[in-house]
Amino acid sequence: MGKRKKSSRKPTGPRKREPLESSFTCLFCHHDKSVTVRIDRKEGIAQLFCKVCDQRYQSKVNHLTEPIDIYSEWIDAADAAERDATVTRRPVASSKFSCNVNEYQSRLSFRPPNAIEQREGGEIVVAFDENLQTVQMRSAQLGSGPEKDGFTFDRVFPPGTKQPEVFDYGVKDIVKDVLDGYNGTIFAYGQTGSGKTFTMMGADIDSPELKGLIPASLNKSSSQLWNPMRTWNIL
Ligand SMILES: [Zn+2]
> What does the pLDDT read at residue 92?
43
CA of 159 to the centre of ligand 1 (A): 49
Tally Cβ neighbours within 10 Å of residue 151: 16
150 is in an annotated binding site: no
How far is ligand 1, taken at its centre, from the CA of residue 180, in Å? 20
Residues comprising the chain, all counted: 235
- CA atoms in the 13 A half-sphere facing the CB of 29: 14
Distance CA 38, CA 48 (A): 6
pTM over 0.75: no
* pLDDT tens profile 154-180: 899 988 888 899 899 878 888 888 888
- Known binding residue 197? Answer is yes
Residues near ion ligand 1 (Cβ under 5 Å): 26, 28-29, 50, 52-53
Phi, psi of 59 (to 5 degrees): -150, 165
Ligand 1 centroid distance, CA of 34 (Å): 6
23-80: what CATH class? mainly beta
| Residue 192 annotated as lining a ligand binding site | yes
Domain boundaries, the chain: 23-80, 113-159, 160-224
Distance CA 136, CA 154 (A): 15
For residue 35, the model assigns a pLDDT of 93
Ligand 1: distance of its center to the CA of 36 in Å?
10
pLDDT tens digits for range 8-54: 555 555 555 555 678 999 988 889 899 999 999 998 999 999 998 88
